[in-house]
Amino acid sequence: MKYIFSEESLDYKNYRFGYSVNAFPENKNDIENCFSKGFLPYTGDNKNNKEIYYLARSLRVNLNLYQRLSENLRVIKIAEKSHNLNFSFKRKESFQHCNDFKNFCLKYSEERFINNPLSEKRLELILKRENYNHIFTFSDDNKIVGYVLAYVNSNIIHFWFSFYNTDLLKKFHVGKYMMEQIIYYAKKQNMKYVYLGTCYGEKALYKVRDFKGIEFFDGSKWNNQINILKEMCKKDII
């Protein structure tokens, strides 16, 4: 795995010199290593087709410490009270990334990422990445209600992009339900970790509240001091 340090900010008076850190996996075995060192996949530049990762305040669930909390059970009970929900997953190569699927993802993005929705080009870039190798499909009876793009191996799941029918938000927390079901699945499969992306700003704290076993990457190590994380998120300027 190769690293690149790029200068980002400067506060010479206080001797603070900011650098962004990127990693480039040299083989597929490096992908899990990237996640374990706090890196996450970067797809912000449609012109960059390289497998590139950025160092950030990454979040993961240590499945050895994970337990279903009362909030998780409440969300599941509400969701399954009036819906026959289930999910399946398959390798990326076995899934048909048809126009209906892509339009489903883009529609969700337009509704939920109002300030920065996914473009068709970025979605295509995401679908080509090696860190996306499995897809989870959620359905209500035979009607598809959501997808999760993920990286899966015998040790970890990286919960990357989720897309779902936002009409269901009137009835239950769809995103929480999908995330909880995948974490629980990983636990049953005796995996070690589920990576949940970044944790910046107070809006991201739902990940911290809702799942036991949370750890965050503090720049040098994985840290389970959640009170510190909460204070950091409250101070974030986004």
Domain residue ranges of the chain, discontinuous segments joined by +: 56-235
Q: What pLDDT score was predicted for residue 82?
A: 87
- pLDDT confidence of 109, banded at 50, 70, 90? very high
Q: Is the pLDDT of residue 125 over 90?
A: yes
User: Which tens digits make up the pLDDT trace of 149-180?
Assistant: 999 999 999 999 999 999 999 999 999 999 99
For the chain, state the CA radius of gyration: 18
Most trustworthy range by pLDDT among 10-14, 28-32, 49-53, 161-165 = 161-165
Joined tokens for residue 210: 């809702």
Joined tokens for residue 149: 């793009």
Q: What pLDDT score was predicted for residue 97?
A: 97
- pLDDT confidence of 9, banded at 50, 70, 90? confident
Distance CA 62, CA 214 (A): 6
Residue carrying the six token digits 């960059």: 48
Q: Is the pLDDT of residue 80 over 80?
A: yes
Q: Which has the higher per-residue pLDDT, 8 or 97? A: 97
User: Which tens digits make up the pLDDT trace of 53-77?
Assistant: 999 999 999 999 999 988 899 999 9
Q: Is the pLDDT of residue 209 over 90?
A: no
Over residues 94-117, the mean pLDDT reads 93
Distance CA 181, CA 174 (A): 11
Distance CA 111, CA 93 (A): 28
Distance CA 159, CA 60 (A): 10
Secondary structure tally for the chain: helices H, strands E = 7, 12
Calculate the average pLDDT of the chain.
93
Distance CA 108, CA 105 (A): 5
Distance CA 167, CA 112 (A): 12
Instruction: Determine the CATH number of domain 56-235.
Output: 3.40.630.30
Share of the chain above pLDDT 70, in %: 100
Joined tokens for residue 185: 């699945």
